[in-house]
Amino acid sequence: MSNPSSSSPPNSNSNPNTHTNPSPSRLQQKISQMRLTIAPIVHVESGQPPPHFPSTMLELFLLTEDQLDAMAHYYSQTGTPSAQTYMYPQTMDWNRPMLCNPSNTTTIPNTSSSSSSTSNTIQRRDRETIEDDLRLTDYERLKVKMRMFARFIGMRGAETPLWEYERQVDILRRRIERSVAEEENRMERKGYRGPPRMS
């Protein structure tokens, strides 16, 4: 069995939105890397890997965000940390706000008396809705989660790349600017008392 730690990580210091065409020799090397097998990380209690655990590097690259989220949950890396969270060589830090998928919704029955005769439901975001320029793109979020999972299973070279740091700083800056602008607008509206009264 090949050691996945000797292969290239699923992310690099380059921006994930930038693509290059590899030369034939590099392509052959990449194909060989995709065939490398990955030793599974088993659950601390059951001793079994999750159903979607990738057996090869190719399968790792083909994981979806839902599959990565499911495996993070399987290894107790989501929600409130528990004793099992820290029983693995690495943690995933899956609870960071930047990793929130805004498309996740929860359906909650409306049990108020005013709608007792209907089956109305309330659609609520898993987290507060964030505008597109204040969050990672779907592709960026997938690449970050894939890199974090690769680090969790012991792959070398899965450290946080420069573009990811820069993206986090950019999002934080935009959020601060938006918060300041909203506060200024709120104060302006609060200070406006309407037209002067006629005597």
pLDDT tens digit string along 88-117? Answer: 999 998 988 888 887 764 333 343 344 444
Residue 124 pLDDT:
44
In sequence order, which residues have a C-beta less than 8 Å from that of residue 37 and are 6 or more positions away? 1, 2, 4, 55, 56
In sequence order, which residues have a C-beta less than 8 Å from that of residue 136 and are 6 or more positions away? 98, 99, 144, 167, 171
**130: amino acid identity, one letter:** I
Q: How far apart are CA 84 and CA 76, in angstroms?
A: 6
Residue 5 pLDDT:
46
Segment (H or E) for 106: strand 105-109
Residue 84, SS3? helix
Residue 181 pLDDT:
87
Whether the CB-CB separation of 17 and 138 falls below 8 Å is answered with no
Residue 194, SS3? coil
Residue 28 pLDDT:
86
Q: How far apart are CA 93 and CA 168, in angstroms?
A: 15
Residue 190 pLDDT:
78
> Domain segments of the chain: what residues?
4-16+24-102+132-190
Residue 196 pLDDT:
65
Alpha-carbon distance values, 128 to 77, 135, 195 (Å) = 21, 12, 36
For the chain, which ranges sit under pLDDT 50? 1-6, 105-128
